[in-house]
Structures are given as structure tokens and as C-alpha cells.
Amino acid sequence: MRLLQLAFLVALASGLSAILIYITGVSDLDGPFRLSSEDLEALKSLQIHFQKCVSANGLGLQAVHGRDNCEVSLKFPEDTIPKWKDPKTGELEGLSFDFNLCEAVATWEQVRNSTTILTREFIDALPNGWEEYAWRRINKGVLLNGCENRTLCMEKLSLVLPDRPPYTPRQFGRCAVIGNSGDLLKTKFGKEIDSYDAVVRRMEHLYRNFTEYVGTKSTFRLLNRGSAKALDKVAELYDKGKEVLIVKTTIHDIMNKMIREVPILNPVYLMLGASFGSAAKGTGLKALEFALSMCDTVDMYGFTVDPGYKEWTRYFSESRQGHTPLQGRAYYQMMECLGLIKIHSPMRADPNRVVKWVPSHSLISAARIASEKLLRRVGAGSSDPLAACSIIGKQQLKGKFGLSSGSRKAAVEHHKYVRGATMYPLEHSPGHGLLCTVPLT
């Protein structure tokens, strides 16, 4: 009996040892993704600052802690009356929206170091980029599968592709993104908007009769699918082709025909966007993404649903049913309280308004590192920006694109930080890696 007991104890000890070795091995394999006490403290501090920021600046919105330091719910006051109905279910939009701060911090900080213009070098650097990625980009959508000749389709795509990015991170200082909310008619923001270094507008908004409210300056215009189909009409609106047109969706046969046959003076580029998941959609978000990829600071006008809203209206036309206005308002508030943007509206009309309790740059940086580890992002925890590169290609620096001798100091510093590499987001890639092209040495 004693012999059996001894054998049992030896077997038990061996089993425990094996389990311990296995756990240790798994932990070692998890090395780059293991959160330290400093990481956990950074995420906790971010959550606290975020909740205080929303309470101080959210005009009634409240941030409620979720199951962990990443999850948060933004709740509207109970007397808010939702108006938008889901076209599939008929249900009214809710008053509470769940977000993931870790996902937002990791993704947006990556966007700020990336370019959001589709280029030839991006497609060249992708494995089978022209045969697969370019082909899918041409044929996106059920009604657009008319390109049977791949060579011809790729020629069409190349019409609006620069060799390298025409704009670089930190190229502009102060930027404004303008929406179409009817609330713009309640405050005369025109002169204020025109004072920015660059102004990004959406789609084909007609602003000539509303200049005292929305200004006249327009550096970039982001076009959706419908606008791209009428590119010649859109281009007629602008002053001598100075405004740059950014098409955010797939290219179209109609658009290609116009580029070839209609004298469009405007530069036209396609947007290469990051993936934000289901919690953030729409042309407004893409406009902010584009601005954040090349500006130091970004302010937004004409997007908000402030207290007392009854329906979504556009400043240049009659009332219309908006798309998830409360969800958009909540997401933009999250962006403001992560220090990404500053919201302007009739309820926030003071241009010198200070956004209280915004996390410091050092806290955002620490939270980004922790978030990348938690989300198992490519290059998580590394101080080397090239560690996030899933694909690295070589580039020959020549031509008119790139940093000029008169570039802003912030742009030059960024160029040095990434060692001259150009970083592109890889849509829907595992680990949210980047495609990076580095200079030939």
C-alpha cells in the first residue's frame, strides 16, 4: 500500500511539474505580449481620465466603465429622443454605445504615422498586388463586375495613382474637417474655418450661399461612391481646380471615362483607409482619418448632435433622415477625449475652448503600448516604428513626391523618426500590421 501511495505521489508531482513547465512555456511564448504592472496602470489611468473628460466636455454624455480597462459605454441622457430607425429591423437607435478604448488608441496612433492615399508603390510592394488587390479594388460591388480585361482595368486604376504619397504625416499644422449638419447655421464659423492651414470637406456640399457659416476655403474634398459617379459636376464647383478630390470607395468606369474625356483640373486620388471595425463608419470618419494622417491638430465642425436635437438636418437643404447620428456623436466624443480632435458646435462655439481632462501625450503613448500588447498587434511594445511593418519594400526616392527643403519641422522630425519609411495601413490584416517602404541605401 505504501508503495502504491509513493508511486501516486511521484506521478502527481510529475504531473504538476509538467503543467508548470507548460504554463511557463506558454508565458515565454507570450513574452512580447505580456502586460507589465506599468501597462496595466497606464490603461487604468486612461480609463479614469477618459471618464472625467467625457463628464466635463460631453454635454450630458457619461462614460461608464465596462468589464475591463478597455471597454467603455457612452450613455446619452434618458430624455434624449432618438430619431434614426434601423432600416432592417425598424428599431430606434439606442442611447448607449459600447467602445473599446484600447482598440481606438492602438488604431488611431497607427493612422497618425501612415499615409491614406493609394499609390503605385503600395500595390507594387504587395505580394501579387496588381493581380489581386488592384483587381478587387476595381471590381468592388455587385454592379461593378464589368471588367473582364484585367490589363484594361489596371490601366484605369493607374490613372489616379501617384507613384508615391503626395502628402506626408505632419505636413499641415492646423486642419479643419467640415460636416453638413444644419447646426452650422446657428453659429457663424466661416472666418474661423478659413483660418486653418487646410480644410477638408465632404462630398459635394454647396457652400457658396452659406460662406459666413461654413467659410470658403477648401483644400480637400472627400467623395463617396455617388459623388464619384458625377465627378465632372463635382469638379465644376471648385475654384480653378485647386481643390484636391479624394475618392474614398472603389473606382468606377464612369469616373475613368470622365478623367479621360472631361477636362478636370483637380488632382484626383483614391483613399487607402484603415479598418476600424463595426463601431465606426461613414464618410465623416474617413474625412477625419484622412486629416489625422497628415495634420498636427484636427478640429471638426458640423458633425455633432447637441442636446435638444430633434432631427438630423443638412445646412444646405431640407431636413432628412440621418444615419445613426447618436452613435456618430458618441464616437466623436470618444475621439475628443483621446486627444485626437476638438469638436466645435453651437454649444461649443468658443474657438479657445479648452478640452478638460484630455490624457497627456505620455499617457497616450504608454496606453498605446499596453493596448498593442493586449490586442497582440504586430510589433507590440517595441519603440521601433518599423516593428509594426508586416511587409517591407524598397523605394527609390525620386520625383516630385517626398519632403521638400521647406517642409514643416514636425514633418521633418517624423521623417527622421520613421527613418524615411512610408507606412501604409493593411486593411483587414491579422495583427493590424503595416506595409512599409523604406529608402534604398
Averaged over successive runs of 10 residues, the pLDDT of the chain (441 residues) comes to 46 42 37 88 97 96 94 93 81 92 93 92 89 74 57 74 92 94 87 96 67 89 73 60 79 64 78 68 84 96 73 56 76 96 92 94 96 94 91 72 76 92 86 90 67
What is the rounded CA–CA span in Å between residue 74 and residue 309?
Answer: 17
Contact of 369 with 381, CB cutoff 8 Å: yes
Contact of 287 with 200, CB cutoff 8 Å: yes
Q: H-helix or E-strand containing 257?
A: helix 253-261
Strands 268-270 and 295-301: unpaired
pLDDT for residue 198: 96
What is the rounded CA–CA span in Å between residue 216 and residue 214?
Answer: 7
| Phi and psi, residue 147, nearest 5° | -95, 90
CB count within 10 Å of CB 408 equals: 16
pLDDT for residue 207: 57
From residue 24, give the alpha-carbon distance in Å to each of 15, 31, 34.
Answer: 14, 10, 12
pLDDT for residue 333: 95
What is the rounded CA–CA span in Å between residue 151 and residue 159?
Answer: 13
Contact of 120 with 158, CB cutoff 8 Å: yes
| Phi and psi, residue 162, nearest 5° | -75, 160
pLDDT for residue 160: 79
What is the rounded CA–CA span in Å between residue 436 and residue 153?
Answer: 26
What is the rounded CA–CA span in Å between residue 411 and residue 112?
Answer: 12
pLDDT for residue 82: 83
From residue 371, give the alpha-carbon distance in Å to each of 36, 46, 103, 360.
Answer: 12, 11, 7, 16
C-alpha triplet 333, 304, 104: angle, nearest 5°: 30
pLDDT for residue 30: 57
Question: Could you give the domains of the chain?
Answer: 110-439 (3.90.1480.20)
pLDDT for residue 241: 61
Torsion of CA 223, 228, 230, 235, to 10 degrees: 50
- The reported pTM is 0.85
